[in-house]
Amino acid sequence: MNNLKNPCCYPPPAPDGRAELIHVDCASHVYPNGSVGIHHMCFRVMEREIVALCGRNGSGKSTLIEHVNGLLRPSEGKVVVNGQTIGSDQTSDLWKDVGVVFQNSDDQLFAPTVLDDVMFGPLNLGMQREEAHNAALSALSAVGAECLVSRLPGYLSGGEKRLVSIAGILAMQPKIIALDEPTSDLDPAHSRIVENLIRKLRDVHGISVIVATHDLDLAARLADRVCLVQNGSICAEGSPEEIFYNDEVVQEAGLLHPEVVRIYRAYCERTGGYGRKHPLTVEQLIDALIV
Amino acid sequence: MSSGTFAHIPDLPLMTHYAENTRSVFSGVSPWSKIVSLILIVVLVTVLRSLTLLLLLYGAIVAACVLARLPLKKILLWYTLPVLFVISLVGLLAWGEPGNPVFFWSFIGIPLVLTDAGLLLIGVLLIKALIVVTFSIFFLMTTRYNHIAAVIDRIFPDPLNQIFLLSYRFLFLTIGMTAALLKAVRSRGGGLIRSIRIQGQIFAQVFALTFIRSLDRADRVHAAMAARGYHGTYATAHEIPAPSYAGMIFLAAAAAGTILIVLATGISSPGGFL
């Protein structure tokens, strides 16, 4: 447990050649109504990394995401994104480096057509119309939604809206994309499409991804690193295996273990003792059970 | 929104559905041509006094709606509000018009006379209102949303174009939210009319909730826009198709005809044909 505790001051980045893109240093945020959004939050994201922020509703995941995009500024502490430091009294252009895909796609898709919406960000970046148009088409193609280019956002399905929302951010070519509950309200097929797309963002586009989710199965399958968020702070972080096979930290965050972990544990209890393997995906579970 | 109690309220999502999915001879007509036509129609409606000519104009617009395969029964239901509006205004004025009495009524000792001229006034003003309403519906149901948005963006200056563009999208969200709230009321045995009778607060509650949720949604939409660098301006991406040669010839002829009618109206006597 102790070695999974979130350090408030991170050590320098590991010498594996990857740069640190986001560093949230002991940041706190109090909303105007007095409620605490985040509290002594320490968080970092490395280059080409998928980080899962897992926590219950209202734990502070979305507030943290809005800080790294610059929508919110910390009341205390600082947020450093790609070398740009933001404190409580500074305005920011963090949105150029960190794109946010909101939980409710209807909040994000406001323009008359899909093309208008996807071009919105690039135009704000100062691209010429032709350049923005090409960036939009390219982003739509990357998410497999090029056929939706002239459609009206209001008439898209939930899955299509989510893909277009991601394209709207991808078109801005950010270094980091934060997705707030990316698979909530989606059917399994669209969830899988979005999940694969997140991997593609890291592997093909070289983008770091923050996934805020309470779907621990998704986090287990997807993340390179998992941060458990509770009461506005990160209460534990580590690899998915370290986190999800640790009862104490999962229970402390008020979460349930991923399905695969529960099945594997139940199987081990029935058959006697824990296995040496720690499966996190269905494929790994099958391998572990066959052995 | 379109069913039952609300069938008389113009259904914006249905209009947009027709504009997006119905292909007719008018779908390909440039939005600029339709806007110029609307302006000419407004001018004609303003100057024309002849019921015959107005009926001819109305008939032509209804014929265009038929050709465009628009749902005439629904459009008739949508007439309810404009008709009520016109009658509530003109219905009072018509009683004082000089002419041959058609109907006489005494109200607490005050004689009320409805003349043929009064009835004609009601008919003329009603048909004028229906001409403009029908053509506006025709425009909205045969013009794609991206073209409407682009036209708004081109016509209006900042920040009016921004307000229009966001309002148009937001209208859909608000309608959707109202429909969802009413569905929730109905799903538990309620109904707007029935609930007003049984539980008077429900009407206010539904609309208060709609406004509160709209504000909340507006806040989130703004946050999502700010997250992509919004700083007060955005432009639509779509080009608007220019009028074809045939369209331009038609518009030139229509404009010339309108000017002639306006000039003729200026020199005609008050009781003349025009």
The residues, ordered by sequence, that sit 6+ positions from B39 with a Cβ below 8 Å of its Cβ are none
Q: Is B105 helix (H, G, I), strand (E, B) or coil?
A: strand
CB-based contact A165:A87 (threshold 8 Å): no
What does the pLDDT average to over A52-64? 92
Residue with tokens 């299509």: A160
Task: Closest CB to B229: pick one of A110, A121, A150.
Answer: A121
Q: What is the pLDDT of residue A245?
A: 92
The residues, ordered by sequence, that sit 6+ positions from A197 with a Cβ below 8 Å of its Cβ are A143, A144, A163, A166
Q: Which residues of A touch B (CB under 8 A)?
A: 66, 69, 71, 93, 95-96, 99-100, 102, 104, 106-108, 110-113, 115-116, 119-121, 123-125, 129, 132-133, 136, 150, 152, 154-155, 168-169, 172
User: How many angstroms away from the CA of A156 is the closest CA of chain B?
Assistant: 12
pLDDT in tens, A40-55: 889 999 999 999 999 9
A162-197 residues labelled b (16+ CB within 10 A) or e (exposed): bbbbbbbbbbbbbbbbbbbbbbeebeeebbebbbeb
Ranges A14-18, A187-191, A251-255, B193-197: which has the least confidence: B193-197
Residue with tokens 């700083």: B231
DSSP state of B3: S
User: How many angstroms away from the CA of A16 is the closest CA of chain B?
Assistant: 31
Chain A residues with beta carbon closer than 8 angstroms to that of B172? 154
Q: Where are the domains of chain B?
A: 1-155+242-274, 159-232
Contact yes or no for B223 and A106 at CB 8 A:
no
Q: What is the pLDDT of residue B14?
A: 87
pTM of the model: 0.75
Q: What is the pLDDT of residue B209?
A: 73
Q: Where are the domains of chain A?
A: 258-291
Q: What is the pLDDT of residue A1?
A: 45
Contact yes or no for A150 and B146 at CB 8 A:
yes
pLDDT in tens, B155-191: 888 888 888 887 777 777 777 777 776 666 666 665 6
| Alpha-carbon span A114 to A148, nearest angstrom | 7
pLDDT in tens, A66-79: 999 888 889 888 89
The answer to whether residue A174 scores a pLDDT higher than 90 is yes
The answer to whether residue B207 scores a pLDDT higher than 80 is no
pLDDT band at B33 (very low <50, low <70, confident <90, very high): very high
Contact yes or no for A136 and B237 at CB 8 A:
yes
Contact yes or no for B224 and A113 at CB 8 A:
no
Task: Tally the residues of chain B.
Answer: 274
| Alpha-carbon span A184 to A199, nearest angstrom | 17
Contact yes or no for A71 and B172 at CB 8 A:
no
* Average model confidence (pLDDT) across chain A: 88
| Alpha-carbon span B59 to B69, nearest angstrom | 15
Q: What is the pLDDT of residue A25?
A: 85
Ranges A198-202, B31-35, B91-95: which has the least confidence: B91-95
Residue B179 vs residue A199, higher pLDDT = A199
Chain A residues with beta carbon closer than 8 angstroms to that of B220? 102, 104, 107
The answer to whether residue B230 scores a pLDDT higher than 70 is yes
The residues, ordered by sequence, that sit 6+ positions from A92 with a Cβ below 8 Å of its Cβ are A70, A73, A81, A84, A86
User: How many angstroms away from the CA of B125 is the closest CA of chain A?
Assistant: 35
The answer to whether residue B266 scores a pLDDT higher than 90 is no
ipTM of predicted complex: 0.71
By C-alpha distance, the chain B residue nearest A119 is: B237
Q: What is the pLDDT of residue A2?
A: 46
pLDDT in tens, A133-148: 999 999 999 999 999 9
Mutate to test the interface with A, among B164, B168, B228 (most CBs of A within 10 A): B228
What does the pLDDT average to over A244-269? 91
User: Measuring CA to CA, how many Å separate B174 from each of A32, B206, B222?
Assistant: 27, 12, 15
Q: What is the pLDDT of residue A34?
A: 77
Contact yes or no for A125 and B165 at CB 8 A:
no
Alpha helices (H) in chain B, listed in sequence order: 12-21, 31-47, 51-67, 72-78, 80-93, 116-142, 145-155, 160-187, 192-198, 201-226, 245-267
| DSSP H or E run through B30 | none
CB-based contact B165:B236 (threshold 8 Å): yes
Chain A residues with beta carbon closer than 8 angstroms to that of B164? none
Contact yes or no for B228 and A95 at CB 8 A:
yes
